[in-house]
Amino acid sequence: MRNRSRSSLSPLLWLALAIGTGPAIAAAAAPDCTVALWGDSILHGGFGASLTNRIEEPPAAALKRIRPAWKIADYSTPGDSAHKRLPTFVLQPMPARVVVLQYGINDAGNGYRYEPALRGMVDYVQAAGKTSIVTGLSQVKADRLPLRDGYDAAARRVAQEEGVLFADWGAARFDIADMVDDIHPRQPYSTRLVERLVLALDQVAPECARPAGQG
């Protein structure tokens, strides 16, 4: 078969090819760095009785500073729990590539059935074709939340059995001086929790891991 040279194609045809393929190539090259944050006041950066109380750099803002490529939708709600959130969560669209699930503190405080609720959330995210990250529970002051360790173990178990990443918030360095109260972190501890989440996000999408200040 005789090969046609570039010069044998009309300029209009070359223009049509360029217009038709250019945006597709650009779209294919752009990574999907979308993440949705679902959780309670710890992920919200809140504390105290007022919903307006937040630390200076809440987790969503800290995440954006550390990994600016991520586009973040923050659905965290003070006082929320997996048990209470599940019925409406499974009715939500899941447009983000990664869904962070940070629950358990309020479940533990109220003795809710945390594990089946968390598992239901993970299953829903997976059914939508998205990636879950389960954070586990942050640390609290001694004896403040007797069920904390058991619920943290349940979060780890769900992550392992469902095959999703576990961002081990319980392993972040903890100092009671870094607490606003018995439950809620001050800025330094909150930032360390976000850094644990960043490690998990980097595993999911290394292409989104460009640090701040780098082009």
Domain with 169 in it: what CATH number? 3.40.50.1110
pLDDT band at 50 (very low <50, low <70, confident <90, very high): confident
pTM for the full predicted model: 0.85
Q: Look at residues 96, 114, 118, 214 and name the one whose alpha carbon lies nearest to residue 166.
A: 118
Give the per-residue pLDDT at 157: 98
Give the per-residue pLDDT at 12: 45
Tell me which range, 13-17, 22-26, 199-203, is most confidently predicted by mean pLDDT: 199-203
Q: Locate all alpha helices (DSSP H) within the chain, ordered by sequence.
A: 11-29, 41-44, 59-66, 82-89, 105-110, 114-127, 148-162, 187-204
Is residue 27 assigned to a domain? Answer: no
Phi, psi of 75 (to 5 degrees): -110, 15
pLDDT tens profile 123-162: 999 999 999 999 999 999 988 999 999 999 999 999 999 9
Is residue 4 assigned to a domain? Answer: no
Give the per-residue pLDDT at 169: 98
Hunting for tokens 């003070």 — which residue is that? 78
Is residue 140 assigned to a domain? Answer: yes
Is residue 22 assigned to a domain? Answer: no
Between 1 and 181, name the one with better pLDDT: 181
Question: SS3 of 140, please?
Answer: coil
Cβ–Cβ under 8 Å, residues 154 and 193: no
Is residue 194 assigned to a domain? Answer: yes
Is residue 213 assigned to a domain? Answer: no
Into how many domains does the chain fold?
A: 1
pLDDT tens profile 83-119: 999 999 999 999 999 999 999 999 999 999 999 999 9
The first and second tokens of residue 115, run together, are 């594990």
DSSP 8-state secondary structure symbol assigned to residue 102: E
The distance of Cα 189 from the centroid of its chain, to the nearest Å, equals 17
Give the per-residue pLDDT at 177: 96
Cβ–Cβ under 8 Å, residues 41 and 78: yes
Between 14 and 99, name the one with better pLDDT: 99
Cβ-count burial of 68 within 10 angstroms (0-12 exposed, 13-18 middle, 19+ buried)? middle
Separation of alpha carbons 148 and 104, rounded Å: 8
